Chain A
Amino acid sequence: MFSNKFLTKTIILNFILFFSFSISTNYLINLKIINLTFYVLFHITLIYLIFYYYHYSLLFLSFIYGVLYDYYLFNNFAPHLICFLLLIISIMVLKKNLFNLNSLNITFVIIFYIFLIFIFETILASILYNYSFDYKKIFNLLLISLIIFFPTIYFFSKIDNL
């Protein structure tokens, strides 16, 4: 069963997840960078949760967030839903190999996952819903990911030590 500490950490991370989702789906015209930053933060938090606090309930959580993101950003379902589910399945399949990695390698794996998920979402949006593959948009997201990744991971590691 879960310990109280584990639950507290999971709740904090889930709160960050919901907060990031809320900010990223309400467009602030003069502060677009805030929307994009929280969009990236949502992805980092989700991947972190799946990596370090894996539980089957995350499958439902990914499903719900995938559906909501797709509804808000596309008014259709698929790109986020498929990406989140593939993410969780790939980590489930690879978890035995991921156990053996050191912290630095895991950090690189998480960065790789973030990059991959953004590119894959854009490709799916382009194929399924006629939204062009915007290199500038992808570059912005990847740049924000790189900028906020290490402070975020540092903050999350502090949560881990609670």
Chain B
Amino acid sequence: MAIKIKSFDISKAFKNILISFVFILSFLLIFFSKTDYFIVNKVKTLSNEYVSPITKFVSFPFIVVSNINSSIQDFQNLKQQNLVLKEEVIRLKKWQILAIQNSTENKVLKKLLNASDNNLNLVKTASVMSRNDILYGKIININAGTKDGLVDQMTVVNHRGLIGRVIDPSLNKSRVLLLTDPNSSLSVKTVSDEIFSLIQGSDDGVHLVSSFIKNEKTPKVGDLLVTSGTAQIFPPDLLVGKITKVTNNKFYALPFVDFNNIDYVQIVNSK
């Protein structure tokens, strides 16, 4: 195959100006993306608002095939799942009795202590429109934006626990940076002995890894992690995960949220 290069008869000077312009534009974009400039946020918002729906429309047939594939897999596992669920129902009934007893006791104790019941305020429940957590970043797109009261850095949860935080909200849509992203850092504490630490997404995209542990204390495997609320981004005491591995200066935790099965999310803030 011979190379066929066909181009307009543009003067060399104009070509050089064009190249310089694109390179300067790229440099400015990269520079401002590091400094969080208004124009960059505008570019991001425009991409989210207008390009995402088009790409979703184009990939619609593949999304349908993926959903059918998922349904078939679920159907194949139906019998086994049924057995597991029957066992779980028996186990949960025992827990339910215990929980009702504890709940009554808890209400009485709270009244005695004059403590508030819940520190969360639900801003909006949104559904997941599309996901971009394929290769590098762990980001999902939701169908709620600034018109629903969302602002940057708001907390996103579901029934299992903390999912992440809102980034780049546009009028009707927003993106959520998941906990499992390596750039998503949050302050947590262990439930049992209140060891404070910072955690972020690990390289495998599944676990969370500690980046700093206060007073170099070592937590135990099986300890539960909740948000500490010290960084004032996330409200305190939101379920995060369970410690699965402890090494010399680090620990790894498995998030409670199943990030492959997120359909709906709740955006909350502190009361």
CB distance from A139 to the nearest CB of B (A): 13
Residue picked from B22, B47, B136, B260, most chain A C-beta under 10 Å: B136
Report the Cα distance A98→B53, complex, angstroms: 39
Taking the complex as formed, is B54 at the interface, i.e. its CB lies under 8 A from any CB of chain A? yes
Interface residues of B in 51-74 (CB under 8 A from A): 51, 54-56, 58-59, 62-63, 65-66, 69-70, 73
Residues A26 and B69 in contact in the complex (CB < 8 Å), given A73-B135, A99-B3, A130-B183? no
Q: Once the chains bind, are B15 and A32 in contact (CB under 8 Å)?
A: no
Interface size on A, residues (CB 8 A): 59
Contact pattern, A 30-41, Cβ under 8 Å of B = 1, otherwise 0: 111011100100
- Residues in A with CB closer than 8 Å to B55 are 21-22, 25-26
Q: Which residues of B contact A52 (CB under 8 A)?
A: 1, 3-5
**Interface presence of B151 (CB below 8 A):** no
Q: Which residues in window 11-65 of B have CB below 8 A to A?
A: 15, 18-19, 22-23, 25-26, 29-30, 33-34, 40, 43-44, 47, 51, 54-56, 58-59, 62-63, 65
Check A150 for interface membership: any CB of B closer than 8 A.
Answer: no
Cross-chain contact A26 with B65 (CB below 8 angstroms):
no
In the complex, which residue of chain A has the Cβ closest to the Cβ of B31? A77
Interface size on B, residues (CB 8 A): 54
> How many contacts between A and B, using CB within 8 angstroms?
149
Q: Tell me, yes or no, whether B207 is within 8 Å of chain A by CB.
A: no
B111 within 8 A of A: no
| Residues A67 and B132 in contact, CB atoms below 8 Å apart | no
When the two chains form their complex, are residues B182 and A130 in contact, meaning their CB atoms are under 8 A apart? yes
Ordered by A's residue number, 27 sampled pairs between the chains whose C-beta atoms are within 8 Å are: A23-B62, A25-B55, A26-B132, A27-B131, A27-B134, A28-B62, A28-B65, A28-B66, A29-B66, A32-B134, A53-B4, A55-B6, A59-B18, A59-B22, A72-B47, A72-B132, A73-B134, A74-B137, A75-B137, A75-B167, A75-B168, A81-B26, A81-B29, A85-B23, A85-B26, A98-B3, A129-B136
